[in-house]
Amino acid sequence: MGARKESRRIRQVPPRSREIIYGFHPAVAALRNSKRVVHQVHVTRNMAERLGDDLKAVEGRIEILRPADIDRLTGPGAVHQGIVIEAAPLAQPDLESIGADGPVVVLDQVTDPHNVGAIVRSCAAFGVKAVVMTARHSPEASAVLAKSASGALEHVAIVKVTNLARAIEQLKDAGFAVIGLDSEAPATIEQMSLPGPHAVVLGAEGKGLRQLTRKSCDAMVRLDLPGTLTSLNVSNAAALALYALVRR
C-alpha cells in the first residue's frame, strides 16, 4: 500500500445516521461485506499495513491516525486494535422475508449488548438465519455489540419487531416450531420432536421469558445440565441450545 498522510483530525459522527465498528475481526467482516456501505475508516498505520487488500475498496475514505487519537474516537477502555469504521446501518429485513428453512433465535427483552453480541456470534457459527427482537427493550446497534459479535453482524440478519408475541405467531404460521428455553421446564431440548424448522426463544437473565411470550411458544424446554446450577448466562444458554439442536 502507498504511504498515506497521517492526520490528527477527529471527526464527530452524526448520531444514529452511522454505525461505529471497531476491532480487527468486526472491521474485516464489515470491509468484506458487499452489502455494507463504509463511509470512513480511521486506522493506525500499522493496522492499515496489516489489512492490506481489505482497504482497497475504501481507498479514498481512509484516515491514518495515531493510536491515541483513535482512543479519543472510541472512548476509554475500548479494544479498538487500531481501527474504527463509520458505516451505514445494514438494511433490516422483514419477518416475512425469513424463509422457513433454517433456525431462528428470538430474544425477549435481552438488553445487554455484550450478551446480544455473543448470541449473534453463536448464531453465525450454527447457521442461524436471523435474530428476532423487539424494537424496544433491546440494545441499539452499537460498537460494543459489534465488537462482541466479532463480525457476525455481517452474516446474521437482525429483525426488530414491535410486538414479540405477534412475531412468534407469524413464525408459527410460516411453519416454525417455536420452543422457549426455561431452566424449570419438565422436558429437555433433546427430548423435543422438531420435524421442521424451529425458533428458539430466550429471555433476559433473572426475569426469563415474559408470561405472554411463554404462552405463545409451542413448548418450553430446558438444557440438560448435570451440575449443581441449573441456569446459565443467556449467551451461554443460547450457544448450548443451538449446539443441542444441531447435534439432533
204-238 residue pLDDT tens = 877 889 999 999 999 999 998 888 887 789 999 99
Q: Is 21 left (phi over 0), alpha (psi -120 to 50) or beta?
A: beta
pLDDT of 49 reads 95
pLDDT at position 141: 67
pLDDT at 32: 95
pTM of the model: 0.85
Q: Cα separation of 105 and 39, whole Å?
A: 30
Q: Which domains does the chain have, with CATH numbers?
A: 19-87 (3.30.1330.30), 95-247 (3.40.1280.10)
The span from the CA of 110 to the CA of 200, in Å, is 14
pLDDT of residue 9: 43
Q: Which of 131, 185, 181 is nearest to 156 (CA)?
A: 131
Stretches in the chain below the pLDDT threshold 50:
1-15
Q: What is the DSSP letter of 139?
A: P
Q: Which residue bears the cell 475514505?
A: 61
So what's the pLDDT on residue 137?
66
Do 244 and 190 form a contact (C-beta atoms < 8 A)?
yes
- Residue-level pLDDT at 213: 95
66 closest CA partner among 5, 132, 115? 5
What letter represents residue 138's amino acid? S
